[in-house]
C-alpha cells in the first residue's frame, strides 16, 4: 500500500528539524507496509507537540486530554476489536501525568500500541523538566540543573510484566518503522519509546547518534527478560530495537472475547465468573 494514502490535508507545524516528523513518517510507513487501511486505524493522543500527531495523518483520531490517550485507545479497541489502535503522546504526557494508565494498560495486556515521542522535555509549554529529563539537565524549571534521576520507562515496564518493550529513534525512520510493525503485529500491549529530539528546547540528536547501537547487532535475545532488563538499564550507550517480546500471554481483549458465553479454559488463568460474562456480553452485544 502507498504511504500517500495516509497523507493528511493538514501540514504538520512542528519546528523545522523536530524529531516528531521522523516518527510520523515511520508510522505512515508501518501502516502502509502492513496493508492496514486508514479507516481501520484509530490514533489517540493527549496534549503536547507530539500529541498533535493525529491531525497530521489520515486515519481516525482523537486529540484528547493531557495524559489520557490510553483510556480512549482501550475503549476504542474494546468497542471494535478489528481496529488497529495506537496511542501517541509525549514523555510528559505518558510518563508523567498519564503514567498510571500506562502501568495498568500494560498489566492487563490490552491490545493497543503506545508510541511515546520522548524528547526528555516538555516541548509545547516551552521547555520544563519532564520525567525522562536527565540528572543535571538545565531546563526552565531547573535552571541550576536537575537534582533527580530520570524515570526509566523500559525497565519499569519490563518489571511490571509488559509483553512488548522496544526503543526506536526518529532519526532512523526505516528501523523505527520495522519496530512499529512488530509492535502492531504483537499479541497485546506494546510500548515503543521513541527518542524524538526537540531541536528548540533540548536537542539530543548528536548525543543519541554518538551513543546508539542496535540490539540486533549484539545478538540480543528478545525472549530473555533478564537480558532485556540489563540492556534497558544501560546509560553509557543507547540500545535501539526490541528489548522484550512475549507472545505467550493472551491479550485482555482476546480473553474477554473467548470468555463470552462459555467457560474458556486457559492454563493458569481463572475462568470468568457468570457476573463477568454478563459484563463482557453487555460490552460486545
Ligand X SMILES: Cc1ncc(C[n+]2csc(CCOP(=O)(O)OP(=O)(O)O)c2C)c(N)n1
| Chain contacts with ligand X (rule: CB under 6 A) | 47-50, 66, 89-93, 117, 119, 121-125, 130
Q: Exposure of 200 by Cβ count < 10 A (0-12 exposed, 13-18 middle, 19+ buried)?
A: middle
Nearest approach, Cβ of residue 53 and Mg ion (Å) = 12
| Using rule CB under 6 A, residue 133 touches ligand SF4 | no
Candidates 129-137, 162-170, 197-205, 216-224 — which segment interacts with ligand SF4 by CB under 6 A?
197-205
**Among 90, 168, 197, 239, which residue interacts with Mg ion (rule: CB under 5 A)?**
90
**Among 18, 47, 112, 190, which residue interacts with ligand SF4 (rule: CB under 6 A)?**
18
CA angle 15, 16, 18 (to 5 degrees): 65
Cell of 260: 463470552
| Using rule CB under 6 A, residue 53 touches ligand SF4 | no
Nearest approach, Cβ of residue 68 and ligand X (Å) = 9
Mask: binding to Mg ion, 207-226, rule CB under 5 A, as x and -? --------------------
Q: How many CA atoms lie within 13 A of 232 on its CB side?
A: 26
CA angle 249, 254, 260 (to 5 degrees): 130
**DSSP secondary structure of 126-144:** TSB--TTPPTT--BTTBTT
Q: At 207, which helix (H) or strand (E)? A: helix 205-211
**Among 45, 109, 119, 177, which residue interacts with Mg ion (rule: CB under 5 A)?**
119
**Site residues (CB under 6 A) for ligand SF4?**
14-15, 18, 20, 49, 119, 123-124, 198-201
Amino acid at each position: 500500500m502507498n504511504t500517500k494514502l495516509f497523507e493528511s490535508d493538514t501540514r504538520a507545524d512542528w519546528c523545522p528539524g523536530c524529531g516528531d516528523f521522523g516518527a510520523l513518517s515511520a508510522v505512515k510507513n508501518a501502516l502502509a507496509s502492513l496493508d492496514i487501511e486508514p479507516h481501520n486505524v484509530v490514533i489517540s493522543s493527549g496534549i503536547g507537540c507530539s500529541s498533535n500527531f493525529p491531525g497530521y495523518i489520515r486515519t481516525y483520531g482523537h486529540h484528547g486530554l493531557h495524559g489520557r490517550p490510553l483510556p480512549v485507545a482501550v475503549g476504542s479497541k474494546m468497542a471494535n476489536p478489528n481496529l488497529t489502535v495506537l496511542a501517541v503522546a509525549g514523555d510528559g504526557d505518558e510518563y508523567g501525568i498519564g503514567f498510571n494508565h500506562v502501568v495498568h494498560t500494560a498489566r492487563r495486556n490490552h491490545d493497543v500500541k503506545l508510541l511515546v515521542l520522548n524528547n526528555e522535555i516538555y516541548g509545547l509549554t516551552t521547555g520544563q523538566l519532564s520525567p525522562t529529563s536527565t540528572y543535571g539537565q538545565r531546563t526552565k524549571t531547573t535552571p541550576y540543573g536537575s537534582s533527580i534521576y530520570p524515570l526509566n520507562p523500559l525497565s519499569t515496564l519490563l518489571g511490571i510484566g509488559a509483553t512488548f518493550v522496544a526503543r526506536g529513534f526518529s532519526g532512523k525512520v526505516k528501523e523505527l518503522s520495522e519496530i512499529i510493525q512488530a509492535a502492531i503485529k504483537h499479541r497485546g500491549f506494546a510500548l515503543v519509546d521513541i527518542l524524538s529530539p526537540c531541536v528548540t528546547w533540548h536537542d539530543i540528536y548528536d548525543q543519541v547518534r554518538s551513543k546508539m547501537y542496535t540490539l540486533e547487532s549484539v545478538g540480543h535475545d528478545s525472549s530473555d527478560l533478564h537480558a532485556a532488563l540489563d540492556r534497558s538499564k544501560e546509560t553509557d550507550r543507547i540500545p535501539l530495537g526490541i528489548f522484550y517480546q512475549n507472545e505467550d500471554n493472551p491479550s485482555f481483549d482476546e480473553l474477554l472475547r473467548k470468555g463470552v458465553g462459555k467457560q474458556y479454559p486457559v492454563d493458569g488463568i481463572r475462568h470468568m465468573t457468570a457476573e463477568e460474562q454478563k459484563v463482557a456480553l453487555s460490552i460486545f452485544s
